[in-house]
Amino acid sequence: MLLSLRTSSLALLLLAGSVAKAADPIVWASSYELAQQVAAQANRPMWIAFWPRQAYAQDPLPKTAYRDKRVQNLAKDLVPVFCAPWPTGFGRASKAENRAAAVWAELREKLFKQGPDARPPAPQHVFLSSKGEILFATPFLLRPGELAWALREALRRSGVQVVSQERDERAPHNLWLGELLRKPGRNEPLPSEVKAALAKLDDPMKFLRSWRESLPGVLVSDDRKAQQILAGRLKGARRGLVRSLLEAVARDADPSWAGLALPWIDYRDERMRRRAYGVLRELRPAKALRSIRAQYRQEKTPEMRGRALRAWVRVSPRDKHLSKALRQSLKLEAPVQLRLHATLALADFADRELAMVQLGQCLRDPNLYVRGASAWAISARQEQGLFPELERALEREREGAGQKLLQRALLGREKPQSEEFRRLVEELIRGVEKG
């Protein structure tokens, strides 16, 4: 006889206690072995939450997404497992951290396929079937609506009936279907590593020679001194170096570094503003909303206005002023560059109903690159209800180039993590710029 999962989740807590903090609203399994038993018996998916050292206390996700009522209710129908490594060099661990490390020791080889000293990309949420097969993974930052989508999708893929998505739920920006992200990525450096890198960055002469080597290891930390040093270097640096540094921040940095980009979104050089918008899109700092919204109104060219709009949507996808801005930008009489960026922005827009309507219309846009952008956004959002419309759009597409774009966009339906799918955005932008 199958247990009610809501009962079995409580049983996990009674058997051994949660491995996360006592105040955590999610009931986490005390071991992976026990989670497997409960998942198999209840025929429910497992939710593996992997966190780096101390990030669980520092990251906004536990304070927002984990306390979202939808997330808490959906989590009761999954088997949650919390784990975190405690590498040498960080001092003594608490009892909770030791328990989380013990779960990590179970999962390190079984799931992540890594050795004792590995530090895989984190935070990362991995969803497994009741048999332990990988359904999908969502590395790095998640908003409440994205985590709710992930929990709901894990249940859907496991054959569990769930109520339909709520208005602000969408697939996470980083979604790996059928696999998880194992290769080293943005991992927290050891204190000794940060100290060594800072010694080079703090010296003006050493900075110019070694920033490419030293900076990546510092960017993944939230070290305030490092941020102050780099902010000072940006002020006096030549423009080419500033653009390179901003590009590195967008690619590698912890979200706490996002403030470095704000002084540059109103800089006279468009290339600099492109880099700054790129940082804000990747790191999504909520405090940047007013500045981006103001700069959006100041941008004169369709391209830069579109880039500002995409940054705006990424930073605050639920902002009440966005609907009007998107509708205006998506009108057929709007410049094609602006329409393209606005269509790409729909991939992150929180109002799912409006996004679906607009994406359906954009599939019929007279410009093939806008049609391609709509197809890309549909796949990025994993909008199951629009995939049939996307397939029909491919059937009626007469331009060979348009067919190729739609076919590539459809790759995201099964492999949104593929490089070919991810590169499509920049190719669409270049295509419009070339006319």
Does residue 364 register a pLDDT over 80? yes
Task: Note the pTM of the prediction, 2 decimals.
Answer: 0.86
Beta-strand ranges (E) seen in 1-55 are 46-50
pLDDT tens track for 228-273: 888 888 887 888 889 998 998 998 887 888 999 999 999 999 999 9
Residue 123: cis peptide before it, omega within 30 degrees of 0:
yes
Kindly report the three-state secondary structure assignment for every residue of 346-392: CCCCCCHHHHHHHHHHHCCCCCHHHHHHHHHHHHHHCCHHHHHHHHH
Q: What is the mean pLDDT of residues 136-141?
A: 87
pLDDT tens track for 144-202: 999 999 999 999 999 988 877 788 899 998 899 999 887 655 455 667 777 777 777 77
Does residue 371 register a pLDDT over 80? yes
Nearest-angstrom CA–CA distance, 151 and 148: 5
pLDDT of the residue at 4: 47
- Assigned fold of 5-177: Glutaredoxin (3.40.30)
- As given in the structure block, the two tokens for residue 383 are 């909008």
Q: What is the mean pLDDT of residues 300-311?
A: 97
CATH 3.40.30.10 region(s) of the chain? 5-177
137 forms bridges with which residues in the sheet? 126, 176
Q: How confident is the model at residue 56 (pLDDT cuts 50, 70, 90)?
A: low
pLDDT of the residue at 14: 33
- Give the chain's mean pLDDT: 85
